[in-house]
Amino acid sequence: MLLSSVLLQAAAAAVGLGKLGAFIGAGLAVIGAGIGIGRIGGSAMDAIGRQPEASGDIRNNMIIAAALVEGVALFAIVVCLLVYFL
Amino acid sequence: MPVMAQGDGTVQKDVSSAKSAKNPVDVKGIIFGHIGDSYEWHITKIGNTTLSIPLPIIVYSSTTGWHSFLSSRLKENGGIYEGFSLAPAGSKYEDKLVEHNASGQEVRPFDISITKITLAIFINSFLLLVIILGVARWYKKRPQDAVAPKGFVGFMEMVIMMIEDDVIKSCVGPKYKKFSPYLLTVFFFILICNLMALIPFFPGGVSVTGNIAITMFLALCTFVLVNVFGTKSYWKGIFWPDVPLWLKVVPIMPVIEFFGIFTKPFALMIRLFANMISGHMAMLVLTSLIFITASFGAAMNSAMTVASVFFNIFMNALEILIAIIQAYVFTMLSAVFIGLAQTNEEPKKIEK
């Protein structure tokens, strides 16, 4: 508990509190993207297991859904980049 | 012997430490120099001479009229030419061409110069025209259904038919022929721009789709197509949808649908822009890792070089996949939005 608060204070002193917020935001966005795309991949695996003949169709739809979820996560990345560079 | 060599030793140490303190690797400058726009196309630096292509600057100032000159004139005349100069770092118009009005403030003239990204758009569009029109000429020279194409024309036919059948026909619906030229053009333009950005030397290397103005224009084209050619039942579905009365009168559904008209193309714009720019930034940062660790000693530097090269190869392969997927997703979503606006169904009245 004490170590994490000391690290946070050191990081805030080094870069400034605003930029620290940008770093934390980018990390949270990546967690969201990872969970979302992981679930899509998992259901795709289940579906291919049930019906291997449809694996081509399932693969196409999985890629499309993954691109859409990644687009949403990249909204957050763009906001964090704006905070960091402006 | 430290006492004897004191004169030389301290001078040497001061010079070298001063040099490394004055020239740290400017990562931010490198990244924004590659991703951003500029009035010249910097190719490389051989020894001490910089090799770059100067591009024409075409501006209209409200006080002195039209000016057009090559950007090399700015450098020859010490940074200022005909009253125009590049704004210094820290000003609002950093690195853009400004002039000073009577009260000394920086003012941007009307600027339609051929910048690096503009020239890259011209090169990519020319490449697109050459490829597509060359393939089309193969079909014009032969009677229909005479022989199946081979080689590059066969490959292009496979790609075009895949987009046409899987994406356009199924997503747009029965009226797909009207919108198919725009959707195919947008797919191939985004694909060529994304792939040219991954080639590290001239004429590639400039990320056209990593510029938010370009993706905004592409999303604007989709926005115009969806709404100008939307049928009456599409507009009715937005402002007076077939839902219970209490959702329409307290205008929840119409407001949500109205904002949805704008957020869908906005998401198209941000998705393409953010995917392209994040990939390029990651590769540039990995490459500049080598130069940052150059001053940390030989062992760390060689380890970082090996790691950076492997990561860069992996990122390049991933970026090729992302380039193709993002072009496909942009086209597919545009086709879906256009198809949703082309509905002609009358909502079925349920007999009570």
Q: Nearest-CA residue of chain B relative to A74?
A: B274
The single-letter code of the amino acid at A58 is I
Cβ–Cβ of B275/A77 closer than 8 Å? no
Sign of CA dihedral B340, B343, B346, B350: negative
Cβ–Cβ of B326/A67 closer than 8 Å? yes
Contacts of A75 in chain B (CB under 8 A): 267, 270, 274
B169-184 tens-digit pLDDT: 888 888 888 999 999 9
- Interface size A-B, in CB pairs within 8 Å, comes to 34
pLDDT band at B8 (very low <50, low <70, confident <90, very high): very low
What is the Rg, in whole angstroms, of the alpha carbon atoms belonging to chain B?
A: 27
Residue B184 · residue B98 · CB < 8 Å = no
Q: Is the pLDDT of residue B267 over 60?
A: yes
Across chain B, mean pLDDT equals: 83
HSE of B29, CA atoms in CB hemisphere, 13 A? 6
Q: Is the pLDDT of residue B7 over 80?
A: no
Sign of CA dihedral B56, B57, B60, B63: negative
Residue B56 · residue B69 · CB < 8 Å = yes
Residue B99 main-chain phi, psi, to 5 deg: -130, 160
CB proximity B332 to A under 8 Å? yes
Domain boundaries, chain B: 39-111, 116-340
Q: Is the pLDDT of residue B19 over 50?
A: no
Q: What is the pTM of this model?
A: 0.83
The minimal CB distance from A67 to the residues B28, B270, B329 is found for B329
- Which of B216, B275, B337 would best serve as a mutation to test chain A binding (most A beta carbons within 10 A)? B275
Contacts of B275 in chain A (CB under 8 A): 70-71, 74
Distance CA B193, CA B209 (A): 6
Note the pLDDT of residue B289: 83
Q: What percent of chain B has pLDDT over 70?
A: 91
Angle, vertex CA B331, rays to CA B330 and CA B335, nearest 5: 120
Q: How far is A11 from chain B (nearest CA, A)?
A: 20
More confident call, B93 vs A61 = A61
Domain boundaries, chain A: 41-86
Cβ–Cβ of A64/B270 closer than 8 Å? no
B45-57 tens-digit pLDDT: 788 888 888 888 8
The minimal CB distance from B267 to the residues A71, A77, A85 is found for A71
B308-350 tens-digit pLDDT: 899 999 999 999 999 999 999 999 999 989 988 887 766 666 6
The DSSP string of B3-46 is TTTHHHHHHHHHHHHHHHHH----HHHHHHHHHS--SEEEEEEE
Q: What is residue A1's three-state secondary structure?
A: coil
Note the pLDDT of residue B348: 62
B36-42 long-range Cβ contacts below 8 angstroms, 24+ apart: B36/B95, B37/B115, B37/B116, B37/B117, B37/B211, B38/B95, B38/B115, B38/B116, B39/B71, B39/B74, B39/B86, B39/B97, B39/B113, B39/B115, B39/B116, B40/B71, B40/B72, B40/B116, B41/B116, B41/B119, B41/B202, B41/B206
Angle, vertex CA A44, rays to CA A42 and CA A46, nearest 5: 70
Beta strands in B141-277 (DSSP E): none
Distance CA B183, CA A77 (A): 28
Q: Residues 255 to 314 of B: which have CB under 8 A from any A CB?
A: 267, 270-271, 273-275, 278
Distance CA B80, CA B118 (A): 23
Distance CA B230, CA B224 (A): 10
- Which of A37, A60, A74 would best serve as a mutation to test chain B binding (most B beta carbons within 10 A)? A74
The DSSP string of B277-291 is HHHHHHHHHHHHHHH
Note the pLDDT of residue B257: 84
Q: Residues 152 to 181 of B: which have CB under 8 A from any A CB?
A: 166
Cβ–Cβ of B278/A71 closer than 8 Å? no
Q: ipTM > 0.85?
A: no
